[in-house]
Homo-oligomer: A and B are copies of this chain.
């Protein structure tokens, strides 16, 4: 019998309990022993639910139970979740989470505690929801030097962009629709301003190159300022506008990570990923481009990834995953990245630029700094990077 606990019984925590209920038999077959949900730590009253017998209010019950193997942290945020994760790891429990805010900000410290205590701190669900991407990145592709990771990391904004592109409706209206469908929060800032995608690209970057990249140190631009006009011009010119998180190892050995809406060529596999789906493309120097696609959020998809980690932790009791990242990465700022740019504003296309329609152009490769200067000089009303 293996025992685990869920801390925080919201969408993700509830999903994990539901996945265990749905798949108890097949999970037991894989583990070679039954998996028991021993505790649910939550401030809510669970006495009227089927989980009444597992409900506890005091974290020290989990901490002091020598038979508890794994703790799922689905509290969210980086306050109580940080304290309880630290204490659970210190108490020798494996911890599994979907909490990207906590992993992005405190992963280095928490993985170091896990290493010291010879337990696992696993967080597959923190990026891409149910899509297996972190383990493939650090394990299956371990023979590669990773060159770039780029992806649609936030389903809410991808839904909004898909509605703008295919429905021809402006940002504000598409956001309201996403809220009505439950895809966007009432306070949608973390999604639409790119913060959520920023945390995820930091975690991907941490794992790809083993050096910490903190969300506050990267350039993050969301989609709230996006004009429907640019979405429509891009579509007509064979591009799709997508909010991408992107991280690269540059030729000088430094790294760059950022989030911004991009023009993506329509024949790029990422361009066709619509609605709430996510897709992450990883470029390795041996494998070339591989892409991972699926539902990036939702209770059961996220719980699928959490449960995969719980099973992995239990199968590797006493032998932790070699996982972690060290001191800060040396970062090159977004302003120094060289790529083509989309500019719009009724001017004549300068030399080296491809004219689209309505006075919009795609420039040759130049830095963001140069592109901004050009945009100012021309009086451009819109400036967006173009993925190559």
Contacts and interface: CB of A to CB of B under 8 A. Distances in A.
A22 interface: yes
B310 A143 contact: yes
Contacts of A210: 29
A242 to B, nearest CB: 15
B132 A285 contact: no
Nearest to A35: B143
Residue among A32, A143, A294 with most chain B CB within 10 A: A143
Given A269-B272, A288-B301, A295-B287, A141 B132 contact: yes
Contacts of A295: 287-290
A304 B269 contact: no
Interface in A274-306: 284-295, 300-301, 303-306
Interface residues of A, number: 54
Nearest to A273: B269
A364 interface: no
A175 to B, nearest CB: 24
Interface in A241-281: 269, 272-273
B145 A23 contact: yes
Nearest to A27: B143
A142 interface: yes
Interface in A130-148: 130-132, 135-136, 139-145
24 contacts: A19-B143, A19-B144, A22-B286, A23-B144, A27-B143, A130-B287, A131-B287, A132-B132, A136-B136, A140-B305, A141-B304, A143-B304, A272-B272, A287-B304, A287-B305, A288-B294, A290-B292, A290-B295, A291-B291, A291-B292, A291-B294, A292-B293, A293-B293, A318-B319
Interface of A: 15, 19, 22-23, 26-27, 29-30, 32, 124, 130-132, 135-136, 139-145, 210, 269, 272-273, 284-295, 300-301, 303-308, 310-312, 315-316, 318-319, 322
Given A132-B132, A289-B295, 20 more contacts: A15-B286, A22-B145, A29-B210, A130-B288, A130-B290, A131-B287, A131-B290, A135-B139, A136-B140, A142-B308, A143-B306, A143-B308, A144-B307, A269-B273, A287-B301, A287-B305, A288-B300, A288-B301, A290-B293, A291-B292
